[in-house]
Amino acid sequence: MRNIKMTIEYDGGRYLGWQRLGDSDRTIQGKIESTLSDMTGTKIEIVGSGRTDAGTHAKGQVANFKTTSDMDVEAMQNFLNRYLPRDIVVKKLVDASERFHSRYHAVKKQYSYYVWNHQVPSAFERKYSYLYPDHLDVDKINAACKKLTGTHDFIGFSSLKKSKKSTERTIEEITMHREGNLIRFTFVGDGFLYNMVRIIMGTLLEIGSGLQEPEYIDAIFKSKIRSDAGMTLPSQALFLDEVYYD
């Protein structure tokens, strides 16, 4: 039995997210599994490094699947990219060790969120960024980002209702890079809760526009209440950039 590791890029705009849904064929996982099953002639199930929500994109999602097929990985990749929808691309396909697991063996992930910061919207960036016309105070945002880095209980920055598992996560860094009117916020951490990046982004924009101060972050960590944080920003501006393994 072979274990194949995949690196996948996709535009999530017309999908209901990564995870397969029994009553819909509009998921990334479902599309890939269907194409793999056609390719091998057997039912294939893939395991992703994690879920991405409806409308969220990926430049480096990782998944793995088991197969008895003797087709070489280059032929597999060519088949997949020929028959998958054009908004899903398999960037890399390799034979992995038998024990490799794309979710359990991931040690950290990088996400990016894009903000179009101008009064005039962009016809081209509108599908992949969030329009925010107000002036942003970079110093205040950076001060807030410093408070967010490190190990914290991020339940107040999550849409999780309840969780038996730990909601403690470690963010290694948050960076902000501006090029013209487009701002890219990059998050690197060992894991992210449901809607965590999008809620943090809503909170950072409130701080940057002067509606809140950087100490707002401390108050949310203390209260652990979702409604105390900023709004959940839309998913179309969020990208899973990379998944890291040892």
Q: Annotated catalytic sites, by residue? A: 53
* Residue showing tokens 């899903």: 88
Q: Which of 179, 141, 156, 175 is nearest to 229 (CA)?
A: 156
**In this structure, which long-range contacts are made by residues 63-66, counting pairs with CB atoms below 8 Å and at least 24 apart in sequence?**
63/5, 63/6, 63/8, 63/29, 63/32, 63/102, 64/3, 64/4, 64/5, 64/6, 64/96, 64/100, 64/101, 64/102, 65/3, 65/4, 65/6, 65/36, 66/1, 66/2, 66/3, 66/4
Q: Which of 86, 212, 93, 87 is nearest to 147 (CA)?
A: 212
Beta-bridge partner residues of 2: 67
How far is the CA of 105 from the CAs of 67, 234, 243, in angstroms?
A: 20, 29, 10
How far is the CA of 139 from the CAs of 92, 207, 208, in angstroms?
A: 39, 10, 8
Integer Cα distance of 163 and 177 in angstroms: 34
